[in-house]
Structures are given as structure tokens and as C-alpha cells.
Amino acid sequence: AQSVTQLGSHVSVSEGALVLLRCNYSSSVPPYLFWYVQYPNQGLQLLLKYTTGATLVKGINGFEAEFKKSETSFHLTKPSAHMSDAAEYFCAVTQGSSASKIIFGSGTRLSIRP
Amino acid sequence: EAGVAQSPRYKIIEKRQSVAFWCNPISGHATLYWYQQILGQGPKLLIQFQNNGVVDDSQLPKDRFSAERLKGVDSTLKIQPAKLEDSAVYLCASSFQQKANYGYTFGSGTRLTVV
């Protein structure tokens, strides 16, 4: 069965510093991978996704992620953090060969220090 | 395009009462999902609809939860009777096709507090 593990429930970085949020997955079939962001009292917003093709994918707000099959990882990065990046981030993977469902990791709360 | 609409935004009920949530997906989206997000956890899928048919309800606690999607558009999720552990945000999402390669569009959710 597919699963998603997010390392670190809380990450704190200084404004302007590199953001790195870690995600590892397990899947018996080639997965589709996603990162979602959730701001307080809001729903989830799609940041970026990997389906096929180029393994480095770029998303909104300057975020990007790299699919590394050998490491079963899909870490999220941003070169320079902004205060507005403070939010909860969820890594997600499709489930099964039909890829009709998405399962989510437990989330990482990103805090930005002034 | 208009997003996924959910109502109410907030609901507080006493245990053993009943409650219903409503979702209106993006126009033309055939697939609709209800997720439960308990505080501090990732969303967990409760039920998936394709048009007005249920595709997967294996994680839905059917002794107290029910959901329907009449006419393949709007959907309602009901809890009867509610328990304290049902306190969570209930998220509705929709997608154009059953395959999830484009991801889902989520609504803002309904925050349920059971006291």
C-alpha cells in the first residue's frame, strides 16, 4: 500500500533562508506526487505536482520539488523564505494503479523567524 | 472559475446530535471527495463519488456517517449521532476526472466542534 512520511512536524527558518521540507513515499507503482499548502482556516491549495517527465518541478510562490526515484523522495525547497510562507505543508501521493485517490502525509508546519 | 463551495464554515454541536455539511464542486467536475482532517493530522479520505455513484467508502464509519450526491452535483455529508472524536475539519474536493494526476481542488472546509 502507498504511504507518505513527512520528516519533521515543525520546521522553523529565518526569513531569507533556505526552506527544505522532507517527504518520502512508498509505492508499488509509479506514483503521482503532490505538495499542498494550507493557510490557517483555509482549505488545501496545490503548490506543485509530479506526474511524468522532468523530475524537477516548479510550483507557485517560488517553490520547487525534485522527484528522486532511487531515494523514494520528493522534498520541497525554496531558496529564500518569506514571512508569507508560514503555513502547513502536506506531501501527498496517489494510491493504486488507477491513481484515483490521493493520500496525504501528516504535514509539516513551517514557521518563519524575522 | 468558481471554486469548491462548502457550508457552513463552522459548526458546534453537542455529542449525540446530528449535523450535515454541504458541498458544491466546480462545475463539470465529475469526481467528488470528502476528507476528514483532525487537528495536527493530514486529511483522511472518507468517501469518493464519481458522478452520483460511490467509488470508495471503505474509510467511512457507516454506523454514523452517511453521504450522498444526488444528480451528480452537490453533495451532503451527515453525522448522526456525533461523537467527541468527530471534531475535525471536513474538506470537500473535486476533480475533472477520476484519475488524480491533476490533483484536486479543495474547498475551505467546515470546522466541526463536538462538545
pLDDT in tens, chain A (114 residues): 778 999 999 999 999 999 999 999 988 777 899 999 999 888 899 999 998 888 999 999 999 999 999 999 999 999 999 999 999 999 999 887 777 788 999 999 999 999
Q: The C-alpha cell of A44 is what? A: 488545501
Nearest chain A CA: its distance from B82 CA (Å): 22
**What pLDDT is recorded for position B109?**
95
Sign of the Cα pseudo-torsion (B24, B27, B28, B31, in order): negative
Per-residue model confidence (pLDDT) at position B72: 85
Cell numbers representing residue A108 in the block = 509539516
Under 8 Å between Cβ of B64 and B14? no
d(CA A103, CA B42): 9
Q: How far apart are CA A102 and CA B104, in angstroms?
A: 9
Number of H helices, E strands in chain B: 0, 11
pLDDT of residue A16: 97
SS3 B100: helix
Specify the DSSP element, H or E, that contains A21. Answer: strand A19-26
pLDDT digits (tens, 9 = 90+) for B61-72: 999 999 999 888
DSSP characters for A36-101?
A: EEE-TTS-EEEEEEE-SS-SEEE-GGG-EEEEEGGGTEEEEEESS--GGG-EEEEEEEEETTTT-E
pLDDT score, position B96? 87
Contacts of A103 in chain B (CB under 8 A): 45
Local mean pLDDT, 10-residue blocks, chain B (115 residues): 90 98 94 94 94 92 95 94 97 86 89 97
| CB–CB contact B42 A105 (8 Å) | yes
Measure A75 CA to nearest chain B CA, in Å: 17
Helix (H) or strand (E) holding B77: strand B75-79
What pLDDT, on a 0 to 100 scale, did the predictor assign at position A101? 85
**Are A43 and B56 within 8 A, CB to CB?**
no
Q: Give the per-residue pLDDT at B1.
A: 62
* Residue of chain A whose alpha carbon sits nearest to that of B48: A101
Query: Quick one: pLDDT at residue A18?
Result: 98
